[in-house]
Structure 1
Amino acid sequence: MADLSQKEWVEQLKADDNAFVLDVRTPAEFQQGFIPDASNIDIYLGQQFVSELEKLDKSKSYYVYCRSGARSGQACNIMKGMGFKKAFNLQGGIMAWEGEVVR
């Protein structure tokens, strides 16, 4: 797992043809605006969050974010423990995001 600055996260995401953008906020937060192409799985779902992660392709690279970077950091640690090799946390989360947001 790696914590990446927005610049690093965006550059790596653009260059990665096996990327998956994962938003781990609540559905209500997600509806307020999200990074383009993001899929939403709420980390607060507990065991159901883990069940949803189990459906994902472990060979992909996951670019994970939340509101501030804390929950996405936890999510990356959970994913690492589940055998995901590439999970990248967006430092500062969407609060620090300066790129496009889908509303």
Structure 2
Amino acid sequence: MIKHIARIGLVAIIGLFIIQACGNGSEEVRISSEEFEQKYSEVPGIVIDVRTQDEYDEGHLAVTDRHHDLLNGDFEARLDSLDKNKTYYLYCRSGNRSGQAAKLMIENGFENVYNIGGFEDLVAAGLESKK
């Protein structure tokens, strides 16, 4: 009986460690285009396009402040030059790369980071784009 209780306790402790490790705040925050427009009007922040140069050249959001390609390592190389106290809004083609970039920023101590999704969806929602 005591061994059974000890096993249950051990499993519970391991489970708590796993939950804590997975829930340490390193998850990216995905917001909709509507949430982005609202939040951006309250807290302007820095908008970063993490797509490739070719994708960026084909068109990007008019509010884009920076272009740091995630795939070629440019984004990660520039992390140290970004102010961790500012607010960042990241986008890519579908929201996948911007999610990866947001997670990378959070893991490096950034707190105000938002994945605003994919470029086409943002434009379809009415955000202005330019070439």
Decide: shared fold, TM above 0.5.
yes
More contact order relative to length (CA 8 Å, sep ≥ 6): 1
1:54-74 deviations in whole A, cap 9, x for unaligned? Answer: 111111100000011000000
Gaps of 5+ in 1: none
Gaps of 5+ in 2: 1-27
Map 1:1-103; keep pairs closer than 5 Å: 1-17=28-44, 19-38=45-64, 39-46=66-73, 48-91=74-117, 93-97=118-122, 98=125, 99-103=127-131
Structure with greater Cα Rg:
2
1:34-65 deviations in whole A, cap 9, x for unaligned? Answer: 1123110000123x431211111111100000
Paired residue total: 100
Residue 96 of structure 1 aligns with an amino acid whose one-letter code is D
User: After TM superposition, what 4+ stretches of structure 1 lie above 3 angstroms from structure 2?
Assistant: none
